[in-house]
Chain A
């Protein structure tokens, strides 16, 4: 499972409780974003503990170090391990799966890479789940061909399937 670590400055829905629960139970395996390198380059690396996260500039987003604590072993990369589900933040969302990010294109590029990696392995791409405050849901978000469309939109009111796959997932 991939999840972002919310930065208070960005006023994102905080999935911290889900991340902490996964770390305590050691399931599902948790991957979190690390930004860097090429433009719009974001990897999701394995998070095995909350300790040792480093706040990055300019938004104070917490990221894990490239290697596991006290080790020179690189953290596992989600593109190699595979992801079943990815939680995405955003600025605005709509009921058709449209998602407006912050303009960096990080998640769109990652979702495309994850879909390609999944196709190469012959498995389904990660289910894309947006987390939104009610004020962030609007009738229509402008989307372009490269924008990733969500499968499920979660608000305080519950989870709504916003793609056929998402509707099946929500129905269980």
Chain B
């Protein structure tokens, strides 16, 4: 769980490494960057879901009860 907020921060701060097109003739580095960005995206959305669940639980509206 600790990894998810860290990955989300990476994504939102744009610190996921993006290399220029053509840096790798085989495209392996671009593919690696894409994979890293997909992982960061999943982690960011997971973190957002976790935060929403926590808020719902705290405000007592979880499960449809207000």
| A interface residues with partner B (beta carbon < 8 Å) | 11, 91-92, 100, 102-103, 133, 135-136, 138-145
Contacts and interface: CB of A to CB of B under 8 A. Distances in A.
Given A141-B37, A142-B33, A11 B45 contact: yes
Query: Chain A: interface secondary structure?
Result: loop
Contacts of A102: 38
A92 B37 contact: yes
B41 A91 contact: yes
Interface in B16-35: 16, 18-19, 21, 27, 30, 33-35
Contacts of B8: 135
B48 A103 contact: no
Q: Which range holds the interface residue count of chain B?
A: 20 to 34
Interface in B29-59: 30, 33-35, 37-38, 40-42, 44-49
30 contacts: A11-B46, A11-B49, A91-B42, A92-B37, A92-B38, A92-B40, A92-B41, A100-B37, A100-B41, A103-B34, A103-B35, A103-B38, A133-B45, A135-B41, A135-B44, A135-B45, A135-B48, A136-B45, A138-B11, A138-B12, A138-B37, A139-B14, A142-B18, A142-B19, A142-B21, A142-B34, A144-B21, A144-B27, A144-B30, A145-B21
Nearest to B14: A139
Contacts of A138: 11-12, 14, 16, 37
B18 A91 contact: no
Given A91-B42, A92-B38, A140-B18, 6 more contacts: A92-B11, A92-B40, A100-B38, A103-B38, A138-B37, A141-B37
Nearest to B33: A142
